[in-house]
Amino acid sequence: MVRIAMLGAGSFFTPHLSKDIMLVKGLEAGTIGLVDVDAERLELSQKLTEKIAAAIGTGWKIEASTDRRKILPGCDYVINTIEVSGVKSVRFDNDIPLKYGVSQCIGDTIGPGGIFKALRTVPPWLEILDDVKRLAPRALVLNYTNPMSIMTLCGIRRSGLPLVGLCHSVQGSSKGLAKYLDIPYEELEWECGGINHNAWFVKLEHKGRNLYPALLEAYEKHPEKFEEDIVRMEFTKQFGYYVTESSGHFSEYVPWFRKRKDIREKYCRFGYAGGESFYANEWPKWRQKADEDRRKIISGEQPFEMDGVRSHEFASQIIEAHHFDKPTLIWGNVLNEGSIPNLPQDGCIEVACVINRNGIIPTRMKALPEQCAALNRAHMAVHELMAQSLLENNKEAAIRALMLDPLTSAVCSMEECRRMFNELWEAEREFMPVDMK
């Protein structure tokens, strides 16, 4: 019987991932253990997951506890979706950098928001992995929590557990490209690799024909078709390759699209397409609405529909491939170790991985185009400094990571970066690592 732990079970991931797992053919029974420090949200998640299990008609048992040590023993798979500090820090992450001229759309993976989310999230993440190593030493660990690269890099270095970071940007972007090009998805031929949210479609073909000229021609002739994706398309026009992250989020990763108001007005749109403070303004409302919807579904006030279709998230595919030894290809965040030759070998990359009974096996690809690799290396330097900061309790390394962030450094002086960091540290002190000097 398979035993799975879901940590941070109050998150939006839980019902989708649970349904996916329960729909795996041949895996009609097992235990899903839900863990969350928020007892009220945990109860909602448990009742909803039990409703999903009943609708599917499987033999899955749902357990729940605010103490992960009651759920972890003997687990075969551990899925991490924790959010440290909830909504308490999201305004600080956004508003303090904005005072210094750093405009963020999402701000949870890179830049000031991503760096401070790492400072809040990695210490409890490492404590979780210590417990996994002790209570479920044979488990595969699947991480969904951002900042993905920093979380994965620190987790692998500290724990040594088989661990992969999972996102949906590769599969989502590849499907989006097929729609842009009006090609059946199963006929699209592509290769993709780099780092999380900055992986590159280095091959984009249909029956051996390079599709990039057609993509750029469509952008020039029908710009209205790409209104929600201007940043990525402009980047593709200038650098030659399409990137995996949405235009709004990707605009935070580079120095060219958000550093001045006139530039933001030209390239950035509302919402996920680049709206300033979008995540800080909307996420607390999304969280509240998700809880309200769960209450209504549980009470029967809101219709509950079960379509019986698995999502494009990789968690259930990994579990199926590993448990049944059915080799499957996914895109995961792993240590490089030779997979991409012109990126740091001890850093975290996103690359195609084979999953079978032996676990997570990264594939190898050719060197990335140098312009793309250069951007990846700039971010990997930030990841490395954050790993040093969090694994060695070194605050100065985190300050220097902020100074090296491409967007922040395009806007702020070094002295301003330090002042911004210290202001954020004081505002979020209750969540900062207590031993960091």
Are β-strands 29-35 and 59-65 bridged in parallel, bridged antiparallel, or unpaired?
Answer: parallel
Q: Which of 323, 287, 293 shows the shortest CA–CA distance to 140? A: 323
Instruction: Decide if 115 contacts 402 (C-beta within 8 A).
Output: yes
Distance CA 346, CA 354 (A): 20
Name 335's bridge partners: 348
Distance CA 177, CA 199 (A): 14
**Do 79 and 167 touch, CB atoms closer than 8 A?**
no
Contact 417, 403 (CB under 8 A): yes
Give 351's Cβ-side CA count (13 Å radius): 25
DSSP 88-117: SSHHHHHHHHHHTT---SS-SSSHHHHHHH
Annotated catalytic residues are 168
Tokens 């992960």 map to which residue? Answer: 68
Structure-token pair, residue 145: 């929590």
In 178-265, the DSSP E strands lie at 188-195, 198-206, 209-210
Cα(19)–Cα(17) distance, rounded to whole angstroms?
A: 5
Which pair of tokens denotes residue 108? 């949870």
Q: Is 409 exposed, middle or buried (0-12, 13-18, 19+ CB in 10 A)?
A: middle
CA distance 12 to 420: 31
Radius of gyration for the chain, computed over Cα atoms and rounded to the nearest angstrom: 21
Q: Which two tokens stand for residue 91?
A: 């305004």
